Amino acid sequence: MKNYENFYIDGQWVAPLEPGRTVDVIHSGTEEVMGRVPLGSVADVNAAVDAAKRAFETWSVTPVDVRAKYLRDIGAALAGRFTDISTTIQGEVGSPKSFAELVQAGLSLGDWETYASIIEGYDWESTMGNSLIVKEPIGVVGAITPWNYPLYLIICKVGPALAAGCTVVLKPSQVTPLNAYILAEVMDEVGLPAGVFNLVVGAGSVVGTALSQHPDVDMVSFTGSGPAGAQVAKDAADTVKRVGLELGGKSANVVLDDADPAAVAMGAVFGCFLNSGQTCSALTRVLIPASREQEFLDAIVEEASKVRLVDPDADEPDIFHSLGPLSSKSHQETVRSYIQKGIDEGAQLLVGGPEQPEEFSTGYYVKPTVFGGVTPEMTIAQEEIFGPVLSILTYTDDDDAVRIANGTIYGLAGGVQSADVERAKGIARRMRTGQVDINGANFNGQAPFGGYKQSGNTRERGVFGLEEFLETKSIQLPD
C-alpha cells in the first residue's frame, strides 16, 4: 500500500492544517485498499496559493532556457518512474497493463520535451505599428483534474502552465491521487523552485471551490463533468478570473455509405471502448446509413464480441480487445443504470448488458455493450455515459447524418468514415465539434484539443495549450 500523510506546498512535504480526514484509494480490479491520502481544507488551499503567489514573482521572469531545462528534467525523472506510474494507474483507474504502459504512462512522458521545445521557439514579443505586443504568464493557476487519464490530464495543464511561467496549485481527483504524488516527488527531486508547483488533495466541494473562489488565483483550468465545470465557472465569477473548461462529450462517428464495414467495425468499437469507455472524446454514437444498416450492424457486433474483460494487472498485449474495470463502484452503478435505461426505452441490446460479468465476481467491471435501434431522443443517445456502451443510430442521407451528429448539447469530438476523403472532410467541416478523425487518423498530441457548446471553452496541447496560460500586453512606443 502507498500511504501519504502530507501535501506538497512551498517546496516541502507539510502536514494538513486540519488533520484527521483521509480517503482510501481502491484498486479497481480487486476492490481492495491500495493506498490512503489526506483530504485538504480551505486552510491548505490558502497556504498553497500563498506559496504559488510568492513564487510567481521570480518564476515568471525565469529565463526561457532555464524553464525549458526544468521541463526536460521533469520528463526524464518521470521516465525513471515509468513502471511505478503504470502499475499505480492500473490499480487506480483499472486500465489494463498494456494500455497503462502505452497510453497512461507513455503519453505522460513526452509532453515535457514538447513544451520545452515550444517555448524555446515561441515568439514572446512582436511589433504591430508603434506597439510592442508582449506575451506574459497569467499568474497563479489552479488546476483541477479528473480520474480517467489522471497523470496525462494533469500534465496537459501543469506542463504548459509551468512552461508559460505560471505557478500551479494542483487538485487531482481524490479517486486517483497516487499518481499525482509521484509527480510531486519528481518535482521535488529535480529541485523545482519552492512554490512553483503545489499539491493539495481534497473534495471538489472544498478544495476545488476554494481554488475557484480564491482572489489570488488568476486562472482555473478544469477538466471533468459539465455540471462540475459549470459550478467552477460560477465560483470563479466573483473574482473575474480566467476559467478554462474541458468537459464531456457525446461524440458521433458518422459512417458514410461508401465505407468498408470491416474497417468501420474495428474503429467503431475501439473508438468507443477506449479506456473502458472512460474517455470524454469517445465516439459513443455510430451513425450508419439505413440503406446498409444490416451490413454495418453485423460487422460491429462481430467485432464487439471479440472484446474481453481482463485483470488490469495481467499481461494482455491486445489493447484493441482488452477492457479493464471501471474506476469506482459508484461509477460502475451509474453506467449499468444507463444500460438498463437503454433497454427500458426500447433500444435493441445486441451485445453485453447490465449484469456483473460471470467471469469476474469482484472488480468494477461492466460488460462491453452495444445497442442497435437507437433513436436520437433516447437517453443513451443524448447523455454522456462514460463507460463501454455503444449506441448505433441510422440516418437517411448526409444532411440527416449531420443533423443527428450535431443534435446534442456536446461538441467535443467526432469521426467520419468514407472511401472518399474529400467527401469525409465536407462532413467533418459541418460537424459542430472541436476535433474530427477521418478514417481513424492518428492521434496528434500537438493539435488543439477542446470542444464546442457544453463540451467546454478551452484548448489544450501544443502551442494552443501554452497560449491558454498567457496574457497579451500592448506597449505603445513613441515615434
Residues with active-site annotation: 246, 280
The cell 467491471 sits on which residue? 365
Q: In whole angstroms, what is the distance from residue 184 CA to residue 177 CA?
A: 11
Give residue 240's Cα distance to chain centre.
25
Contact 434, 455 (CB under 8 A): yes
Query: What does the block give as the cell for 93?
Result: 483507474
Backbone angles phi, psi at 474, to 5 degrees: -110, 130
According to DSSP, the β-strands at 242-246 and 219-223 are parallel
Nearest one of 199, 105, 118, 116 to 151, comparing CA atoms = 105
Residues 174, 40 contacting (CB under 8 angstroms): no
H runs (alpha helix) in 42-172: 42-59, 64-80, 82-93, 97-99, 107-121, 150-164
Measured in residues, the chain has a length of: 479
Is the separation of the CB atoms in 394 and 354 below 8 Å?
Answer: no
Burial class (CB in 10 A: 0-12, 13-18, 19+), 54: middle
- What's the CA gap between 146 and 225, in Å, rounded? 9
Question: What is the C-alpha to C-alpha distance for residues 165 and 11, in angstroms, rounded to an integer?
Answer: 17
For residues 278 and 282, what is the distance between their CA atoms, to the nearest angstrom?
8
b/e 150-175 (16+ beta carbons within 10 angstroms → b): bbbbbbbbbbbbbbbbbbbbbbbbbb
Q: Burial level of 291, CB count in 10 A (0-12/13-18/19+)?
A: exposed
Q: What is the DSSP letter of 427?
A: H
Question: Which residues, including other chains, have CB under 8 Å from residue 385's CB and lie 6 or more apart?
Answer: 277, 284, 334, 335, 338
Closest CA to 450 of 295, 234, 311, 243: 243
* Euclidean distance between the first and the last CA atom of the chain, given in angstroms as a whole number: 67
257, 289 Cβ separation under 8 angstroms: yes
